[in-house]
């Protein structure tokens, strides 16, 4: 029997795909892969992000938060703020165990989607 090996793509709803594309390119600085009218695709590690306008009313809902991994959360939040990002909450330690501290900072994209940066700091 075949098993699931990884997440290949995550769709993020956008009312204005062009505006969102600019945000994901310039503020998040994700590599742009390709696009079509009403669709944009970005690389985020081994996962592809798809920005699209919902194609039907039942698909028009808020996205689940996507957590973007970074190795310096304070620096990344600062550069995003300078680029015009709406920072919801500064980086805070949300968990600590014997291996690492987990830091999370929240922001919104141009479409109002709540997203997060995360950094796992080794102890």
Rounded to a whole number, what is the largest CA-CA distance in the chain? 49
Task: Indicate if the pLDDT at residue 92 is higher than 90.
Answer: yes
What are the tens digits of pLDDT across the range 46-65?
A: 999 999 998 888 888 877 89
Please compute the mean of the pLDDT values over residues 15-42 and round it to a whole number: 97
Domains along the sequence of the chain with CATH = 9-122 (3.10.180.10)
Q: Rg for the chain (alpha carbons), in Å?
A: 15
Report the distance separating Cα 20 and Cα 89, nearest Å: 20
Q: Could you tell me the pTM of the whole model?
A: 0.87
Task: Tell me the pLDDT band of 77, cut-offs 50, 70 and 90.
Answer: very high
């Amino acid at each position: 029997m075949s098993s699931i090996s990884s997440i290949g793509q995550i769709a993020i709803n956008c009312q204005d795909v062009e505006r969102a594309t600019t945000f994901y390119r310039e503020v998040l600085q994700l590599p742009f892969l390709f696009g079509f009218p009403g669709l944009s695709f970005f690389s985020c590690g081994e996962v592809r992000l798809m920005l699209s306008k919902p194609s039907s009313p039942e698909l028009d809902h808020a996205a689940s938060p996507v957590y973007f991994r970074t190795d310096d959360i304070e620096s990344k939040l600062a550069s995003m703020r300078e680029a015009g990002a709406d920072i919801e909450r500064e980086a805070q330690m949300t968990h600590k165990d014997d291996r690492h501290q987990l830091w999370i900072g929240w922001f919104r994209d141009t479409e109002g989607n709540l997203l997060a940066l995360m950094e796992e700091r080794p102890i």
